[in-house]
Amino acid sequence: MRSLISRQSVKIAFEMKASVRRIFLLIFSIFLIKIPRFVIAQPAERTPSIDPLHYLPAKNPCYDETGQPQRCVPDFINAAFNLGVEVTNTCGERQSTKFCVQSGHMGMKKVCDICDSRVPQYAHPASYLTDFNDPDKETWWQSETMNEGIQYPHSVNLTLRLGKSFDITYVRLKFISPRPESFAIYKKTKEGEDWTPWIYYSASCRSTYKLTEKAPILPENEDVAQCTREFLDISPLTGGNIAFSTLEGRPSAENFEESEVLQKWVTSTEIMIVLNRMNTFGDEVFRDKSVLSSYYYAISDFAVGGRCKCNGHASQCVKSTGVGGDRLVCDCKHFTTGTDCDRCDPFYVDRPWRAATSDEANECLPCQCNHLSRRCYFDEKLYNDTGHGGHCIDCAGNTQGPHCEECVPNHWRRPNETRCTACNCDETGSLHVQCDEQGQCPCKAGVGGQRCDQCLAGFYEFTANGC
């Protein structure tokens, strides 16, 4: 008798859950109908080379109209546009899978459908994450459903490799499915480094990530990831956005140029989205397959707004002409070099490399070698002592010294000449072979001549002891 009552209770509970769910979907569908759609103009190109929805031209050359250097930056772009994304799970790859939608949305003609990677019209590959997001012909990546075992603690990872470092302003995700209950965004500042958390989104920060919700960001500790429940309501069931701003809430954001911590914080070469837990109505506990098939991750747009990182010394990034020609590199100006214009050209190390700022271009300066050498290195002690750090090497013209400013031993410099001339002091008649600033050798007693190679008038017998 108790068993029968228990089964009836479960049945009643399931029917109540289903009724509540149907009422919610009806109300939400009416709500969607009443909201006008925003029309986004199509780009002129059939297949755009840049994402026009995330683009802002820089329009600031590296030199002003008078030829003076100034800070310059590449265009603001969607750095993820048309890049490949590595995903750990995609629906329809192992076998054709059935999925159902929480509500109707563009591109779906029925409540349930199939995902099959072998059939283009039923495929939802990772390439749809970063292609052009046409709102009139929406495509999306999709994971397998909860019916195939996709749910906490089993995560789905989306990894984007940018190819070089970028200064990232935001990461934006547009969902076809409901937004997750818990997910995190990670980044790498340099290739080969460990993943650094950027932000955690969770309605259960403490239990999922062992973090306090919205812990304060302090000026002395600005490079820490917060956990927030923002954007994590199950509604809207489709079309929900999540936009992470890398500098939001950071105390030194207004003084970004002076904050090396934040400059590193916004720098990224790789980004990983880790989808940890789905948002549900709680009805998955009844293990109904049609219900489980309605829970999955689906994202139509993965956009990364930022600029190619060139430290203020380039206005564009170009394809490398060296090894790894498909990689992006900065088109460096201001006598800088490197993938990110992060060091000075070999002969332009008279002061330490610095990133350009809005007030100072910080161009690299040439070594002061008096036109007698094209090789030098940065000497920190010399810079601290004199304000000029370029230490010249391989000086020509019989010169030496940090700036090729001295003659090598046994040489002298004629007026208005940079090169030095050999003294050629006669070893027999000279006290030593180093001449003075006029080229006069020091002569022994009774010896004369500029090179000390003859006796003075009234003296004779030129020997090692003089005349």
86 strand-pairing partners: 159
Query: What is the model's pLDDT at position 60?
Result: 84
Distance CA 259, CA 380 (A): 23
pLDDT-derived band at 13 (thresholds 50, 70, 90) equals very low
Q: How is residue 430 annotated by DSSP?
A: B
Instruction: State yes or no: pLDDT of 36 exceeds 80.
Output: no
- CA 62 to the chain's CA centroid: 20
Average pLDDT over residues 340-358: 96
Q: Which of these, 403, 404, 408, lies nearest to 387 by C-alpha position?
A: 403
> pLDDT digits over 199-220, tens only?
999 999 999 999 999 999 999 8
Average pLDDT across the chain, whole number: 86
Of residues 146 and 52, the one with the higher pLDDT is 146
11, 62, 94, 160, 316 from 319: Cα distances, Å: 63, 19, 36, 19, 10
Instruction: State yes or no: pLDDT of 24 exceeds 60.
Output: no
The answer to whether residues 246 and 266 touch, using CB atoms and an 8 Å cutoff, is yes
pTM above 0.75, yes or no: yes
430 strand-pairing partners: 443
Query: What is the model's pLDDT at position 325?
Result: 63
> Which residue is associated with the tokens 């207004």?
254
Residues constituting the chain: 467
Average pLDDT over residues 128-145: 90
Task: Could you please state the CATH topology (level 3) that the domain comprising 75-308 is classified under.
Answer: Jelly Rolls (2.60.120)
Distance CA 441, CA 435 (A): 4
Radius of gyration of the chain (CA): 36
Query: What is the model's pLDDT at position 323?
Result: 66
pLDDT-derived band at 135 (thresholds 50, 70, 90) equals confident
Average pLDDT over residues 80-96: 95
Distance CA 51, CA 114 (A): 30
Q: Which two tokens stand for residue 114?
A: 């199939």
Q: 425-456 b/e with 16+ CB inside 10 Å = b?
A: bbeebbeebebeeebebbbbebbbbbbbbbbe
Phi, psi (rounded to 5 degrees) for 34: -80, -15
> Which residue is associated with the tokens 């309501």?
233
Q: 315-331 b/e with 16+ CB inside 10 Å = b?
A: bebeeeeeeeeeebbbe
> pLDDT digits over 93-114, tens only?
999 999 998 754 444 445 899 9
Q: How is residue 14 annotated by DSSP?
A: H
Whole-number percent of the chain with pLDDT over 70: 87
pLDDT-derived band at 14 (thresholds 50, 70, 90) equals very low
pLDDT-derived band at 192 (thresholds 50, 70, 90) equals confident
Average pLDDT over residues 393-398: 96
Distance CA 45, CA 43 (A): 5
Q: Which of these, 418, 95, 150, 119, lies nearest to 280 by C-alpha position?
A: 150
The answer to whether residues 426 and 450 touch, using CB atoms and an 8 Å cutoff, is no
Instruction: State yes or no: pLDDT of 195 exceeds 80.
Output: yes
Average pLDDT over residues 327-351: 95
Average pLDDT over residues 221-233: 91
Instruction: State yes or no: pLDDT of 352 exceeds 50.
Output: yes
Query: What is the model's pLDDT at position 29?
Result: 32
Q: Is 277 exposed, middle or buried (0-12, 13-18, 19+ CB in 10 A)?
A: buried
Q: Which of these, 165, 195, 205, lies nearest to 74 by C-alpha position?
A: 165
